[in-house]
Amino acid sequence: MSNDKWNPAKFEMFSEHKIAIMRKLHEHPPLVTLLMPYDQATEWPEMLGEIAAYCGIAIDGTFGPTEIEALEKELAQKLWEAGVVLGNTPVVGTIN
């Protein structure tokens, strides 16, 4: 049996902050446009970089799981605080 086959016993858990980010994306159409070229399954770190830039957060360095989770938490909070963006205009709150 090949290891390439789907295995229902194998799955990936996502942090609550990653889930929160993914839930908020639809409220930020400009950010969705930036993230469209990326594959979430294999390019999540690159996506976090784009989200951080969108939120005005400069990041640099090597991130381990703990740092990634802390960044996800900060980005989820920033997106929540920003509210909903229609076009390029925030309806409630602002980024920064």
Query: Can you give the pLDDT at residue 32?
Result: 92
Write down the pTM of the prediction: 0.75
Q: Where are the domains of the chain?
A: 43-96
Is 63:45 a contact under the CB 8 Å cutoff?
yes
Query: Can you give the pLDDT at residue 1?
Result: 45
Is 18:72 a contact under the CB 8 Å cutoff?
yes
- The half-sphere exposure of 26 on its side-chain side, counting CA atoms within 13 A, is 3
Which residue type does 36 have?
A: M
pLDDT digits (tens, 9 = 90+) for 81-94: 887 765 555 555 54
Q: What is the pLDDT tens value at each position of the chain, 96 positions in all?
A: 445 666 666 555 778 899 999 999 888 889 999 999 999 888 999 999 999 999 999 998 888 989 999 999 999 999 988 877 655 555 555 454
Query: Can you give the pLDDT at residue 8?
Result: 62
